[in-house]
Chain A
Amino acid sequence: DAGVTQSPTHLIKTRGQQVTLRCSPKSGHDTVSWYQQALGQGPQFIFQYYEEEERQRGNFPDRFSGHQFPNYSSELNVNALLLGDSALYLCASNLFRGTYNEQFFGPGTRLTVL
């Protein structure tokens, strides 16, 4: 049973560039959430996708956008990168009406903005 996978593992970009991160949910899951984890901090919720639509959004600017595909995989796009966007980006998946709202996490993508 494949867990949540993310690509790439690491990424280095310069200020002003755009980046796309990818996530494949755990088998059987239909909902994907994205979190940003700054160094030494807890993860912060960016947004959640279900049925190819953004269902919830955290306190992040419009530079952060996403997409969910019919196979439930998801992308996170960040435009006009800032130094402060350097972080570990975590993807989590779950079943929309599953018990406990339990989310399973991927290993993350480490983004460094220079």
Chain B
Amino acid sequence: AQTVTQSQPEMSVQEAETVTLSCTYDTSENNYYLFWYKQPPSRQMILVIRQEAYKQQNATENRFSVNFQKAAKSFSLKISDSQLGDTAMYFCAFTQRDFQGAQKLVFGQGTRLTINP
């Protein structure tokens, strides 16, 4: 069974600072996808960034980037130039890559990130 662990329940930084959220996962699969989702107080889960395990290059989306270490099964999220709107719960998630169809998402426990003015 796959598991996802986020070891930082809460983090807090000042606006414009850089913050890194940690995530580790456990799987025996070789082909899979990893995601970071953001859940603001409005509750809507929003995809921040995705990483395909078979790609060595780390994914980047504007101010968001990941550090994907496949051998270490580590998938951290870096937020640069943090903004007040980045305040939210962040969830790391894993899904198996399956050509037969979609698979379930396995989520970590979440990290509550607060950006202070």
Binding site for B on A (CB under 8 A): 31, 33, 35, 40-45, 48, 50, 55-56, 58, 88, 90, 92, 94-98, 100-108, 110
Contact = CB atoms under 8 A, between A and B. Distances in A.
A100 B104 contact: no
- Among A55, A98, A110, which residue has the most Cβ atoms of chain B within 10 A? A55
Contacts, number: 72
B43 A50 contact: no
B105 A92 contact: yes
Contact of B43 (A44, A100, A108): A108
Given A50-B101, A100-B50, A101-B103, A41 B109 contact: yes
Interface of B: 4, 6, 33, 35, 37, 42-47, 50, 52, 91, 93, 95-99, 101-110
B44 A48 contact: no
Contacts of A31: 101-102
A105 B44 contact: yes
B102 A45 contact: no
A46 to B, nearest CB: 9
Contacts of A95: 102
- Which are the 3 A-B pairs with shortest beta-carbon distances? A42-B107, A105-B45, A45-B104
Contact of A56 (B4, B47, B104, B109): B104
A45 B104 CA distance: 7
Given A42-B109, A90-B45, A96 B50 contact: no
Nearest to A109: B43
A105 B97 CA distance: 19
A100 B33 contact: yes
7 contacts: A42-B91, A43-B107, A50-B101, A56-B104, A94-B102, A96-B101, A107-B44
Given A107-B43, A108-B43, A102 B50 contact: yes
A45 B101 contact: no
Contacts of A98: 102
A96 B107 contact: no
